Amino acid sequence: MARMKTDLCIIGAGSGGLSLAAGAVQMGARVVLVEGHRMGGDCLNYGCVPSKALLAAAKQAQTVREGGFGIAPVVPQVDYAAAMAHVQSAIATIAPHDSVERFEGLGVRVIQAWGRFLNDRELEAGGEVIRARRFVIATGSRPLLPPIPGLDQVPYLTNETLFDLRERPGHLLIIGGGPIGMEMAQANVRLGTKVTVIEGDRALNRDDPELAKIVLDRLRAEGVGIAEGAQATRVSGKAGAITVETGQGSFTGTHLLVAVGRTPALDRLNLAAACVETTRAGVKVGPDLRSTNRRVYAIGDAAGGLQFTHVAGYHAGVVIRPILLGLPASARTAHIPRVTYTDPELAQIGPTEAEARAEHGARLSVARFAFSGNDRAIATGQTDGLIKVMVVKGRPVGVSIAGAEAGELIGPWTLALANNLKMTHVANMVAPYPTLGEVNKRAAGAYFSPRLFENPWVKRVVRVVQRLLP
């Protein structure tokens, strides 16, 4: 086998691995990037990009279907294959940015093969042995398949195969009422498919129940069937007629999508040979994302924490400092947002109200503002929404938003939590009128209003000052 030495070997060309490779090579490091499947990873090929592209096509259909503002509603003529072609077009447009050619042009050595550790210092990939000063595992995750009896006997879809469809499903059953399940439920029902979501717990159970209800009510109104507390106990049938049995009865459809979560993709790496310990969640790492082998780091889904593309990119920025510059760095989670891209969207950063109350007790204040009080939302017919801001000692510790553009609205709160800002900083913001962005400022105002307008001492001070003014 050919042998090579390098400063940094990155295993996995998803968002985290690519960000790290581009940054490291441009800072002067010798970088080898190993990828056994598709450049761009899950996010580009099977996750974020295709799902949002399909949601965009579905929203177009729903706009036509609903009409409004003096425009008559009509039944949309949905070409499911064309909608999926839009998905592939979006992937193809972004792919050159993540391509082998681009990264080789930057100076990265790209090996398109699966990697496997030989020992604590060496990795074999594509017939070459790579000896690196530091390794970073950025292999991401794959769909988790639950141990439901009969599942392995029927054809089923995951996010890795759903976007290969070209014929619209007649009745799509979805096991899993989390973000992926609910996004794909709404996308498909808007494109004309009958959809039933089967969830063993509460749909969108990680989110604030009050805000999740806003989203779920919309999905139900659009025709999505949602069975909650319905644990799948058996799957049977064949292509075109698949039955999922639950404690609440059975559901039969033409297609089955399994969307119950994800598991880290580590099985090919032979991590035991590298003295890298793992848990069920992923590689065992410390706050600095370093594994039990001091030469090996893990980022993104492989690190066993929050499974989001933006977290992988954030982790890349964390590990580049100790790897290239020898500087200490550690990853935090308090300022990491998450978004479910249904319509309306659901966004969260920090703890929900229930989580914050459990942690902070009587010290917690909750500021609320409904989208129905926002002029832009009224003008555009997007008044179904609510923002909650959890505040402790004048600082926001968590924010929950359900409503139009919630994923965009969470941005300023991400800045606030990342930099330990106070509610006064948000209140001092001047938002252009009329925008949905005023929701954030009004939420800050809702926090200060009782302290200003319901405080008798403020009124007394004002009366005294007014008497003293010339």
At 456, the pLDDT band (50, 70, 90 cuts) reads: confident
Determine what percent of the chain is predicted with pLDDT higher than 70.
Answer: 100
Assigned CATH topology for domain 337-453: Enolase-like; domain 1 (3.30.390)
Q: Are 347 and 339 within 8 A, CB to CB?
A: yes
**What pairing do the DSSP bridges indicate for beta strands 249-253 and 386-392?**
unpaired
Question: What is the structure's pLDDT at 454?
Answer: 72
Q: Where are the domains of the chain?
A: 2-39+99-143+263-325, 151-261, 337-453
* Average pLDDT of span 102-126: 97
Q: Are 417 and 391 within 8 A, CB to CB?
A: no
Q: Which long-range contacts (CB under 8 A, 24 or more apart) does 291-296 make?
A: 291/137, 293/120, 295/120, 295/121, 295/132, 295/133, 295/134, 295/135, 296/120, 296/134, 296/135, 296/136, 296/137
Domains 2-39+99-143+263-325 and 151-261 share a fold: yes
Residue 348, sorted as left (phi over 0), alpha (psi -120 to 50) or beta, turns out to be beta
* Average pLDDT of span 296-308: 96
Q: Which residues are annotated as a binding site for FAD?
A: 52, 115, 139-141, 301
At 470, the pLDDT band (50, 70, 90 cuts) reads: confident
Mean pLDDT, the chain, as a whole number? 96
Class of domain 2-39+99-143+263-325: alpha beta
Question: HSE on the CB side for 13, CA within 13 Å?
Answer: 29
Cα dihedral 10, 16, 22, 28 sign: negative
Q: Which residues are annotated as a binding site?
A: 52, 115, 139-141, 176-183, 199, 261, 301
Instruction: Give per-residue pLDDT as tens, 48-87.
Output: 999 999 999 999 999 999 999 999 999 999 999 999 999 9
Q: For the full predicted model, state whether its pTM sits above 0.75.
A: yes
* Average pLDDT of span 421-437: 96
Instruction: Give per-residue pLDDT as tens, 255-287.
Output: 999 999 999 999 999 999 999 999 999 999 999
Q: Is 151-261 a domain of CATH 1.20.1530.20?
A: no
Determine what percent of the chain is predicted with pLDDT higher than 90.
Answer: 94
Instruction: Give per-residue pLDDT as tens, 337-366.
Output: 999 999 999 999 999 999 999 999 999 999
* Average pLDDT of span 310-316: 96
Instruction: Give per-residue pLDDT as tens, 365-404.
Output: 999 999 999 999 999 999 999 999 999 999 999 999 999 9
Q: Which residues are annotated as a binding site for NAD(+)?
A: 176-183, 199, 261
What are the angstrom distances between the C-alpha of 238 and each of 186, 251, 346?
A: 25, 14, 35
